[in-house]
Structure 1
Amino acid sequence: MRTVRALTAALLAGAALFGPAAVPVLADSPTPTPSGSASAETAGPTEAGTTFRTAAFFRQGQQATAEASTGDYLYWVFPADTGQRPTVTASVTLPESAVRHGASTWRIDVYDGLRRRQPCMYGMQSRTAAREAATVELACTLRPVRPWADTWDDDPLPGSYYVRLTVTGLPEDDLGQPFAARIGAVSAEEGGAYAGGGSLAAPLVPGATTEDAATADGTSAVEARAPEDGWSSGWWSDRWIWTAVGGALAALAGIGGYTLTRGSGRPPRVPPAA
């Protein structure tokens, strides 16, 4: 009984030490939990680029807006780090239905820092709006960002992610009509479930390296494109917590087993002679 009580007390102490971080997540939902400052929408850029090179930069949690003509390609770029599963959303405000001649189909595509198009796990990245519709809503949830990948793999890697918005189908007479767009991105933190055994030398930020000359405020080009709390090193994950907990439990089990074995091997106590 003393051994059982000791083991129970040790388990309770371990739970109090590691807290909720050591509790596994049993359910996964396609709806992301905002990380960092993503829960508070802040203003982002009010213009979009027209190519990858001129893409407008925004951070997760911000709302980027732009006005353009139907038929234009609009580009934005945001950072995503190791362990995040970004969800990109787009809202397009369409021209007045009275001046439109039919339905229109809109689409968002997401590319990583190597300009590889990333598939969507969830969401409607392409949707057709009827002539009477005032807006169209699009969404794309990417796969979790990994710290590294083999050269032949196309897994998402930490760095810049490009969003492209365009109309893919509409009556020819509707080309050139004005529309407004709103773009945002938030991430669910996946943690050690998708951690790897390595990390990139530097995040995939096109046209920038960690050795680039510092900008006017003293930051490098890579740092200027980093998330609000900076790039992670890639070595930490909650697997370290599980490793520590497992090691502690194994040690306690060994001590308990030794104590029980030693106690069972002792000869029975003989009462003293009268």
Structure 2
Amino acid sequence: MWITRVVSAALLTLGLAAGPAAADSTPSASPSDDSAAPTSAGTSFRTATEIDQGRTATANASAGDYLYWSFPADTGQRPTVRATVKLPAQHAAQTWQIDVYDGLRRRQACQYGAQTRTAAAGTESVELACVLRTVRAWSEPWANDPLPGTYYLRLTAVGVRTADLGQPMAAEVRVESKDMGGAAAVDGRLAEPLIPGVAMTQRQDEAEEESGASAVLSAIEPDDGWSSGWWSDRWVWTASGAVLAALAGIGGYALTRGPGRPRHVPPNV
């Protein structure tokens, strides 16, 4: 009887723990409606066009231009950046490249993916991809780890003949993330996500100063807001392990204690 109860409780605990873990490993849902996606790109970090993850942004430009987009990435996400460059029918060999920078404008390395590709002469399009490292909730000041905040995507041609400069081209970019769950969780968190630039109020008179008005951070953020950084499914597995250890102790005691001691019967007088 004790064994049955212990096994049942253990299976129930594992089921409860596996539920959140399975949910964390599922990629975030991406909106299917791209009607509101941007149709232009910025030309610098300051003018980068904001895009949401899961939507395809487009832009028309010329070979040799620098195209910039920005997107939010939160704790536990592993972003994947994809870009497609559509080229004119007549062109020489061209090399295109995508680079990703964090909110401090530090270039982030790609784990894998074709970050740089060369389109042969006459090729209609070229596809690029960059899978970043998992975004951490906290990192040492000297480290170059990805942190939650704004990320910049830059698309440009790094090898174009002078005769091809200025030729029309079209670009499509899309960012998607996979939630890595508690396996990538770390202790600590940032006080604020790395969102560069502030939107200052136009009027900064004495009344605003007395009322405590302050600069407002950029509006770019994930749909469900920024994560606090302290919660992960590691808490679920830790609690489950503690419960299972307690149940195992109770079950072991019940199996090894043996039959109950008989009551003391006084001798016959």
Q: TM-score range by the shorter chain?
A: 0.7 to 0.9
1:80 aligned onto 2:73: yes
Structure 1 length normalisation: TM-score? 0.84
| Cα displacement (A) at 1:172 | 1.1
Please give the per-residue CA displacement for 1:129-153, whole angstroms capped at 9, x wherever unaligned.
0112100000000000000100011
Q: Secondary structure at the match of 1:247?
A: helix
| Cα displacement (A) at 1:23 | 6.0
Q: Secondary structure at the match of 2:81?
A: strand
Does the aligned pair in 1 maintain the 2:17–2:237 contact within 8 Å? no
Aligned mates of 1:22, 1:132 — CA distance in 2: 48
Amino acid at match of 2:43: T
Structure 2 length normalisation: TM-score? 0.86
Structure 1, unpaired ranges of 5+? 214-219, 270-274
1:1-274 to structure 2, matched below 5 A, reads: 2-22=1-21, 34-36=27-29, 38=30, 40=32, 42=34, 43-97=36-90, 100=91, 102-208=92-198, 221-222=216-217, 224-263=219-258, 266=260
Aligned mates of 1:203, 1:105 — CA distance in 2: 34
Amino acid at match of 1:225: I
Aligned mates of 1:24, 1:74 — CA distance in 2: 35
Does the aligned pair in 2 maintain the 1:44–1:63 contact within 8 Å? yes
Amino acid at match of 1:9: S
Please give the per-residue CA displacement for 1:189-210, whole angstroms capped at 9, x wherever unaligned.
001111111100000000139x
- CA pair 222-250 structure 1, distance change in 2 beyond 3 A: farther
Does the aligned pair in 2 maintain the 1:95–1:134 contact within 8 Å? yes
Structure 2, unpaired ranges of 5+? 202-214, 264-269
Amino acid at match of 1:173: A
Does the aligned pair in 2 maintain the 1:203–1:222 contact within 8 Å? no
Aligned mates of 2:141, 2:95 — CA distance in 1: 35
Q: Secondary structure at the match of 1:121?
A: strand
